[in-house]
Amino acid sequence: MIDTHVHFWNYNRDEFPWIGDHQPSLKQNRLPCDLAALTAEHITGLIAVQARPTLSENSFLLQLAQDFPIIKGVIGWCDFDACIEPQLEAAASHALIKGFRHLIQDEPQPSLYLSEHAGLQHGVRVMQQRKYIYEVLAHQADLPAVVSFCMRHDKHWLVIDHLCKPAFAGQAAFDWWQVHMRKLATLPHVVVKISGLVTEAGTNASAADLQPYVDAVWTLFGSERLLWGSDWPVSSATHSYADLLAYWKENTRHLPQAEAHQIQLATPVKIYQL
């Protein structure tokens, strides 16, 4: 099984302002050696995803991948306010860099950033020409802008992190989320990552709370366009790694197991070219 969404860091307050005072367990170094015991019997590969908006993040994750072969790929960071071509040229010599991400959710106006930031538009076009994945990180409220963004950039895979962070705010919110996810599902280059849900659902979230969302994307996207990720260590603020594996097993128990296995292995191998 490949966990397609993990983060690693040497913690300091300045570089991780998004870690709040309500998450003291995250305010410490989180490295592959801390994860190894949790994944040993289940996980054969990891995709390390950027957590800091700095170019030094790329070299940090690449060094970890060199030291820990279980890391099969890196989703790095690009500065969309600078010239993108030299950044991609620098990345080209590192086969483990599979794509890039920016913390769009932390922009003052995420939807406006998705629709109007010229550097983002140009950067993602060039990334797709060079066959890099771009991972989209936004909240449910920004789904209309996410849909439009994905329609504009259709030359290579786009991965929607965390199911676009659904609101878990009742049936009306779920229905609105599902309408926009259905629009994304019509775009064959869009892949959805089943990850990060426990953080959005809260400390007491159960597998049953996640079930409608897993069922919805399974129906809309199918196993060839779904990935699974733990979002460790962010998820560890509310749930253990064992919880996440148990929830995944529970959420997929009534679904074809061949398709579950495809999400766990064949689809990440295809999308990330592992």
pLDDT of amino acid 23: 85
Whole-model pTM: value is 0.96
What percent of the chain clears pLDDT 70, i.e. is strictly above it?
A: 100
17 band by pLDDT with thresholds 50, 70 and 90: confident
Closest CA to 155 of 112, 124, 117: 124
pLDDT tens for residues 18-45?
888 888 889 999 999 999 888 878 899 9
pLDDT of amino acid 40: 74
pLDDT tens for residues 134-150?
999 999 999 999 999 99
Q: Count of domains in the chain?
A: 1
Average pLDDT over residues 3-30: 90
CA distance 34 to 206: 25
pLDDT of amino acid 20: 82
pLDDT tens for residues 83-135?
999 999 999 999 999 999 999 999 999 999 999 999 999 999 999 999 999 99
14 band by pLDDT with thresholds 50, 70 and 90: confident
pLDDT of amino acid 16: 86
Domain enclosing residue 166, as ranges: 2-272
What percent of the chain clears pLDDT 90, i.e. is strictly above it?
A: 92
Q: How far apart are the first and last CA of the chain?
A: 13
- Inter-residue long-range contacts of 238-246, CB under 8 Å, 24+ positions, other chains counted: 238/198, 238/199, 238/202, 238/203, 238/205, 239/198, 239/205, 240/38, 241/35, 241/38, 241/39, 242/38, 243/198, 244/198, 245/42, 246/207
Which residue in the block uniquely carries the two structure tokens 């620098």? 90
In CATH, what number is assigned to the domain containing residue 193? 3.20.20.140
pLDDT of amino acid 232: 97
pLDDT tens for residues 239-256?
999 999 999 999 999 999
